[in-house]
Chains A and B, each alone.
Chain A
Amino acid sequence: MELELKNVSKEFSGVHAVNHVSFSMKKGVYGLLGVNGAGKTTLMRMLCTLIRPTGGEILWNGKNILGLGADYRNILGYLPQDFGYYPDLSIYDYMMYIASIKGIRQGAARKRTKQLLGQVGLAKYEKRKMKTLSGGMARRVGIAQAMLNNPQILVLDEPTAGLDPNERIRFRNLISELSEDRLVLLSTHIVSDVEFIANQIMLMKNGRFFYAGTTEDLVSSMEESVWHCTVPKQSVNDFVGKYLVDNVKTVPGGAELRILSKVPPTKQAVREEATLEDAFLLYFGEKAGDKDDTEI
């Protein structure tokens, strides 16, 4: 089981959304991190055969996925970032329709639909129309439809976008549960989504992977340290301008700052353990999820 990107590029009107990416993925959870506009969605759409790469090729077990066609899509499950559905169908009918276009026989589709809806906690809502579902419920249907064909490759594009913290945690656990024996590629710009469940992290910026490895390796590769200090309120802006500030918390008599720096920002600064979010801030130069660019 190997999904290989060989020098893959995608160009839109002269702009490289994905720029000569080469990478190989096997079984496990891969977290694709990047700010909005980094090229994550474009890469995922190419992996799902929705768009053709301008250059390079994507291979599944050594064969071009576009050549494999339906055989490749048969082992693929995809939850797009902008998950759309047929609003007038019930959850059950929606699942059955997707099962039918995935080539699952009716009997098996019924069984699998019941099982998956149970797994995502929607069994009792199966008769409800899709248009009446909350964002979180719709996303759960999204993951269920992606799992219908028990895919070897599960591609999840920003699966937690728009979910509240509870839904996000539930979703993360669900993905972790479903990731056994398959390749899961999960893109996000929310670090906590992948921090604990991804075996491998890929950082993507301007259409390129500039880091790939484990969370621990990524964090330990940082030259900067994480510092915690309390400063007067009026000097917060000076610190924000001078350092990469991860967090600002107002407290009586000042503000507590979490700062990334090679040297202690104040004499009283205390060193803290670095996290993936700190690495994200360091490499992307902004706090995760703050920027809201249009996704490419």
Chain B
Amino acid sequence: MILKYELKKVFSKKMNRIVLIAALLAAVALSVFAIGSVRYVGEDGAGHTGLTASRHLAADRNRWKGGLTGDKIAQVVSSEKEIRLQYPDDVPNEIYGKTLQSYNDIENFVIGVLTPDTVWDTGVLYQLEDEQAKNLYSIYEKNLQEMAGKYGETPEQQRFLTEQYEKTELPLTYEAKDSWDTIVMYVETYAMILAIVIGFLAAGIFAEEFRSRADAVYFSSRYGRTNAAKNKVMAGLLMTTIVYWAGMGIMSLVSLGVMGISGVSTPYQIYQPYSIYAMTYGQYYLLAVLCGYIASLLAASVTMLIAAKMRSANVAVCVPFFLFCVMPFIGRALSAFLTFFKLTPDMLLNVIECAKNPNIFQIGNYVFRQIPCIMLLYFVISIILLPFVYRSYHRYGLKK
């Protein structure tokens, strides 16, 4: 019963309702932006955006759906070469719509494979012989080994990277993945908004008694220092879970409902051939969403602790903003502490960059990747802080 009324306190507050409505509107707005950001060029060369653009684009690209064999790659390279011979300066929109658009991802994959750790150069495509194109995976495998050596600074790291690269199943399979590419970008933005909103709501849970001067009745009640304080912590976690997954669920449902889920099983390596995260686009999306959830948990735990300690939400509500919005700027300004800033909480909301870069760390013989590290680290911190939140309420006014 305590938990029920604790949640009721959170959701009945006028300001909290306004904030939640704003978060809901943000979900809808971001979905609209996501849907509107996909552009499809028809066979007549006309560009289309809007509700059906994403599905048309997926349908067009899915002409290449299935195993991405050497033959298919050679076909793409050959087609690209022919078109570029015909139109050396600028490809007309009709040709792009009829042909190029459909294999754009595959073309980019080939360029990505051939330019490991160097500047993106589309010219490599035209230097590729037909036979080389058919054997692109041999080049890819060779480069993967080289990259393991290049990115790994110690034998342990090199071994670790080799193991990660071996997890990528070759040949890759292809399916248009634009909806996932798009949504992950908006997931990160929305997760940041939600973390700030959740921080605001969570701070109120432990500051409300002091703000409304209800502390005397609360702490003189039987369970004010024990079960009720535990239930406040529970309410914080439950509120975080409800608000985060409801918000993210709405945004995902609207966006994916319109854009479709084509590409859920497409390997991320199509986009980043040398990523150390062997995953599908569906997993990539889940990773971004999960990291966002951990960021929200962290925001809730930290703000609850600060609010309980300071008996006010004023400072507490600013903390998520600092952690997730200001920290990246500090990280950029203090480039000398690059390693440290690869592990700061804002990285939870920057999975796109984290997944691209081969950031690995080593303690003793143990080598680990950036994303699992920050996920575990901040999940554990979020949980570890909770007993301190409880303790500051449990001992309120009774310190010797």
Task: Report A's interface with B, CB cutoff 8 A.
Answer: 45, 48-52, 66, 69-70, 73-74, 76, 78-80, 82-89, 93, 96-103, 105-106, 109, 142, 145-146, 149
Contact = CB atoms under 8 A, between A and B. Distances in A.
B212 interface: yes
Interface stretch (B9-17, B243-251, B363-371): B9-17
Interface in B208-240: 208-209, 212-228
A109 B209 CA distance: 21
A83 B215 CA distance: 9
A50 B219 CA distance: 7
Contacts of B218: 101
Among A74, A86, A146, the most chain B Cβ lie within 10 Å of the Cβ of A86
Interface stretch (B51-59, B305-313, B392-400): B392-400
A84 B12 CA distance: 17
Contact of A98 (B208, B219, B221): B221
Contacts of B213: 82-84
A101 B9 contact: no
A98 B223 CA distance: 10
Given A73-B222, A85-B217, 14 more contacts: A48-B220, A49-B219, A49-B220, A66-B398, A83-B217, A84-B212, A85-B214, A86-B214, A88-B13, A89-B8, A93-B8, A97-B5, A142-B217, A149-B222
Among B215, B216, B225, the most chain A Cβ lie within 10 Å of the Cβ of B216
Contacts of A76: 220
B216 A84 contact: yes
Nearest to A149: B222
Nearest to B10: A88
Contact of B9 (A49, A89, A103, A105): A89
A138 to B, nearest CB: 12
Contacts of A49: 219-220, 398
Given A52-B400, A93-B5, A106-B1, A101 B224 contact: yes
Interface in B7-36: 8-9, 12-14
A78 B5 contact: no
17 contacts: A50-B397, A52-B398, A52-B399, A70-B223, A73-B221, A73-B222, A76-B220, A80-B216, A85-B212, A88-B13, A89-B8, A97-B9, A99-B1, A100-B2, A101-B222, A102-B221, A102-B222
Contacts of A74: 222
Contacts of B8: 89, 93, 97
Interface string B329-346: 000000000000000000
Given A70-B222, A73-B221, A101-B222, A87 B212 contact: yes
Contacts of A99: 1
A120 to B, nearest CB: 16
Interface residues of B, number: 33
B1 to A, nearest CB: 4
Contacts of B212: 84-87
Interface in B369-396: none
B217 A89 contact: no
Kindly list the 4 A-B residue pairs having the minimum CB-CB distance in the complex, ordered from nearest: A84-B213, A80-B216, A97-B5, A48-B220
A171 B223 CA distance: 28
B220 A84 contact: no
A106 B4 CA distance: 11
A103 B223 contact: yes
B75 to A, nearest CB: 65
Nearest to B11: A88
A145 B221 CA distance: 10
B5 A84 contact: no
A52 B397 contact: yes
Contacts of A88: 9, 12-14
A89 B56 CA distance: 50
A256 B41 CA distance: 99
B392 to A, nearest CB: 15
Contacts of B226: 70
A109 B1 contact: yes
Nearest to B212: A84
A79 B214 CA distance: 10
Nearest to B223: A101
A49 B398 CA distance: 8
A263 to B, nearest CB: 47
Given A96-B5, A102-B222, A48 B216 contact: yes
Contacts of A96: 1, 5
Contacts of B14: 88
A212 to B, nearest CB: 24
Contact of A86 (B9, B225, B400): B9
Contact of A84 (B4, B6, B215, B227): B215
B275 to A, nearest CB: 48
Interface string B42-64: 00000000000000000000000
A137 B232 CA distance: 28
A109 B5 CA distance: 13
A30 B223 CA distance: 27
Nearest to A82: B213
A50 B12 CA distance: 27
Contacts of A80: 216-217
A32 B9 CA distance: 35
Contact of B216 (A45, A73, A97): A45
